[in-house]
Structure 1
Amino acid sequence: MSGRKSRNKGQRREREFAKIIQGERIPLSGAVGGRFGNDVEGLGLRFEVKARKKGFQTLYKWLEDEREKPDALALKADRKDWLVVMKLEKLLELMGLNEK
């Protein structure tokens, strides 16, 4: 994907996510640091938004495991902080919001 198409796709995803969480896309996100360092703010959190055509397949597979049916994944690499991955629907439920 060319640079412009990739940038446009990223901005579309940022706007889409900001709308879902009733948040705000940060102008110039990624171009400058500080208060403009992240892509979206909402729910009292700052988000980096990543979109890949076929990325994150293993994460999706783990979340969609029919036998386990997890609400979230807890992930940790050696000498790194814990990460939690969950479906947006579950986050909104926990925050007391309904996805629209």
Structure 2
Amino acid sequence: MSGRRSKRKGSSAEREFAKLIGGTRIPLSGSQRGFKGDVKGLGLTWECKRYRDGFRRLYAWLEGEDIDALAIRADRKPWLVVMEVDTLLKLLGGDRGVS
């Protein structure tokens, strides 16, 4: 993918995620020093990543039998939690039924 299309795809993902969580996209994120993260919302600063099929295994684990969230950790690194945005919004009391 060319640089311009890649940037457009990333910006599109940031706008989409910001809308899902009721947040705002940070303009110039990634292209200008001093701008941290891609999206602000739900009291957090978010970095957004979108790959055609790069997270296939994460999705497969989440699609298991009644799995709500995935806890993952590399050796000597902190735990990370992966979940669908619907699950996050339900936890925060903002169930909007988005997908």
By how many angstroms is 1:2 displaced?
Answer: 0.5
Trace 1:40-51 onto structure 2 (pairs within 5 A). 40-51=39-50
CA RMSD, 1 decimal: 1.1
Trace 1:9-24 onto structure 2 (pairs within 5 A). 9-24=9-24
Relative to the length of structure 2, the TM-score reads: 0.92
Unpaired segments ≥5 residues, structure 1:
none
By how many angstroms is 1:59 displaced?
Answer: 0.2
By how many angstroms is 1:7 displaced?
Answer: 0.2
How many equivalent pairs are there? 97
By how many angstroms is 1:33 displaced?
Answer: 4.0
Unpaired segments ≥5 residues, structure 2:
none
In structure 1, give the amino acid aligned to 2:49.
K
Distance in 2 (CA, whole Å) between partners of 1:62 and 1:98 is 23
- Aligned to 1:50, the other structure's residue is in SS state coil
Indicate the percent of aligned positions where both proteins have the same amino acid: 58
Aligned to 1:76: 73
- Aligned to 2:58, the other structure's residue is in SS state helix
Trace 1:48-59 onto structure 2 (pairs within 5 A). 48-59=47-58
Relative to the length of structure 1, the TM-score reads: 0.91
Distance in 1 (CA, whole Å) between partners of 2:52 and 2:95 is 26
Kindly provide the CA deviation profile for residues 67-97 of structure 1, in whole angstroms up to 9, marking residues without a partner as x. x321100001001111000001000101111
